[in-house]
Amino acid sequence: MHSDLIIRPVTENDAPRLLEIFGPYVEHTAVSFDWEVPSPEAFIEKIHRITLLHPWLAAVKDGIVIGYAYASPFKVQAAYCWSVETSIYLDPQYQHQGVGRILYTHLEDILRRQNIVNACACIAYPHPVSIAFHKSMGYEECGHFHCSGYKLGQWQDMIWMEKALMPHPKEPQPFIPYSQLSNCFSNS
């Protein structure tokens, strides 16, 4: 079904297209709690910062990025290094076609190679499509925060969902930064 879909690492050259996808989420929804679309320079800096430690993947069809997903640190303290926050954004015309599932599957495979144990997603509430997607990927709701952000003229709730990427070991294996992994992609 998606034999023409390529999953590959994001590069800074993708920033303009990623912003085309991300911008409407910022400007017209509470999916992102950002109030303003970041500048290309700020977005490139974010790509560099995140990909030192965690994966940021693009879904490409016919040479065009149609969506992306990434993992970022859950918190900055060292004890959290086995936990990440996942994020995903798709071009609306490619939603509900399995692209998100493919992106998250690749993302989670890489996170397991990094010895990441926990994936968490922060989702604006209500957002039934995103909640259903995450549930279908094995995430479970673990927290609901009321009126935790103000956007689009009203207070917004958010929920946290979590997924164990592997059984929790008595003692975790060392975290491996994404920039130190090799051979993550056979189709890039």
- Structure confidence by residue, pLDDT tens digits, 105-121: 999 999 999 999 999 99
Note down the domain range covering 39.
5-122
Domain membership of residue 128 (yes or no) is no
Please say whether the beta carbons of 86 and 176 come within 8 A: no
Domain membership of residue 110 (yes or no) is yes
Closest CA to 100 of 114, 82, 117, 86: 86
Number of H helices, E strands in the chain: 4, 7
Domain membership of residue 186 (yes or no) is no
Domain membership of residue 147 (yes or no) is no
Domain membership of residue 162 (yes or no) is no
Peptide bond into 126 cis (omega under 30): yes
The pLDDT score that the predictor gives to residue 186 is 52
Domain membership of residue 113 (yes or no) is yes
Domain membership of residue 38 (yes or no) is yes
Compute the average pLDDT of residues 124-149. 95
The pLDDT score that the predictor gives to residue 183 is 73
Domain membership of residue 149 (yes or no) is no
pTM of the entire predicted model: 0.93
CATH code of the domain covering residue 117: 3.40.630.30
For the cut 90, the answer to whether the pLDDT of residue 2 exceeds it is no
Tokens encoding 159 = 């929920």
Give the SS3 label for residue 177: coil
Closest CA to 184 of 21, 54, 19: 54
Question: How confident is the model over 162-188, as pLDDT tens digits?
Answer: 999 999 999 999 999 999 987 776 544
Tell me which H or E stretch contains 146: strand 140-151
Closest CA to 100 of 76, 141, 66, 63: 66
The pLDDT score that the predictor gives to residue 163 is 98
Q: What is the tally of structural domains in the chain? A: 1
Percent of the chain at pLDDT > 90 equals 87
The pLDDT score that the predictor gives to residue 182 is 76
Which pairs count as long-range contacts for 38-45, CB under 8 Å and 24+ apart, including other chains? 40/15, 40/16, 43/15, 43/18, 43/19, 44/12, 44/15
